[in-house]
Structure 1
Amino acid sequence: MDDWPAYLNLMVSPRSHFMGGPVSERFAWGIFCHDVAQWNLLGHGALMIVDRSSKHCVGQVGINAGPFFPEHELGWFVYEGFEGNGYAYEAAETLKRWAFKELRLPTLVSYIDPENVKSCRLARRLHGTLDTDAPREDPEDLVFRYENDT
């Protein structure tokens, strides 16, 4: 619950526009609960990214799935003021390796708004390749695919 206020602030702000926001507080709560519930329902979900030295929550990384995701998605965000420090890369790379090893997923994807240049750059750094044929909820999204090469 300690992570809820910062999460809410992001989701109701214009900064969340690449994630379908801004959204209402009620809708943000539903997404927050979804991120947690996936652990019990699917064996994976979202994790908060915490700076090791300050112990401050700086963002989130997660494996999303379920009825609204055509495939398992690797997603991330970093709160304002924490970009450019490698938090999203380190967390996404670690969770990607975990998903391939522990969940034995053959592939993962990231659904990214084409205007979200920073996330597109990170997806490429994570060795994602564009998959123009991949199913997606939003036809405008780019789909970056990660193969299990472990």
Structure 2
Amino acid sequence: MTSIPTLETERLILRAPTVDDYPAYAAFMASDRSRMMGGPHVRWAAWGMFSSDVAMWALYGHGALMIDLKGERTCVGQVGINHGPMFPEKELGWMLYDGFEGFGYATEAGAALKAWAFVTLGLETLVSYFDPDNVRSMAVSARLGGVRDDTAQPQDEGDVVFRYNRPY
């Protein structure tokens, strides 16, 4: 099994998910805020997604990391590299819990995990899939160097896809 890394940025610690993270994750997935991710989701579906995020580490060597504020041990959301039968390509994704948007946490966490993926995994490319109404996350993607790729296969019909290419 692949060891799940802990990544640190100036303000954040990206760490392995634990079962203690599930209640906040499930609450997010049950809320209207998850509508850009196909939600709201019932509790058993949220558990399946949470478990999949953890299992991807063993199956693919990457998965989800929880985003903690450094020095506070406050979990503000999740960032991950998704793959498997539901994703045409390896996807860089993120979500922030209510009250933690607008501080640059998604950009900071996404940049750290994207760099880790290109260096450690040797990936050539990553994508992010967005609901067309999710303009705030598309702006994060652009800050991360993502470029809209209308030729990429979407995860869900109507998705907007942004691509990140490995810097050489």
TM-score band (shorter)? over 0.9
Amino acid corresponding to residue 108 of structure 1 in structure 2: L
TM-score normalised by structure 2 residue count: 0.88
Task: After TM superposition, give the deviation of residue 91 of structure 1 in Å.
Answer: 0.6
Q: Alignment length, in residue pairs? A: 150
The yes-or-no answer on 1:117 pairing with 2:151 is no
**Structure 2 counterparts to residues 57-68 of structure 1, below 5 A:** 57-68=75-86
Task: After TM superposition, give the deviation of residue 115 of structure 1 in Å.
Answer: 0.5
Runs of 4+ in 1 over 6 A off after TM superposition: none
Per the alignment, residue 120 of structure 2 pairs with 102
> Alignment partner for residue 104 of structure 2, among 74, 86, 95?
86
The yes-or-no answer on 1:56 pairing with 2:68 is no
Separation of aligned partners in 1, 2:38 and 2:92 = 16
Unpaired stretches in structure 1, ≥5 consecutive residues: none
Task: After TM superposition, give the deviation of residue 137 of structure 1 in Å.
Answer: 2.4
Separation of aligned partners in 2, 1:48 and 1:5 = 13
Encode CA deviations 1:28-48: one digit per residue, 9 max, x unaligned.
000000000000111000000
Separation of aligned partners in 1, 2:155 and 2:125 = 18
**Structure 2 counterparts to residues 129-140 of structure 1, below 5 A:** 129-140=147-158
Separation of aligned partners in 2, 1:136 and 1:81 = 29
Separation of aligned partners in 1, 2:159 and 2:56 = 23
Aligned residues: percent identity?
56
Separation of aligned partners in 2, 1:81 and 1:99 = 28
SS at structure 2 position matched to 1:77 = strand
Amino acid corresponding to residue 45 of structure 2 in structure 1: F
TM-score normalised by structure 1 residue count: 0.98
Alpha-carbon RMSD:
0.7
Task: After TM superposition, give the deviation of residue 139 of structure 1 in Å.
Answer: 2.1
Separation of aligned partners in 2, 1:68 and 1:9 = 23
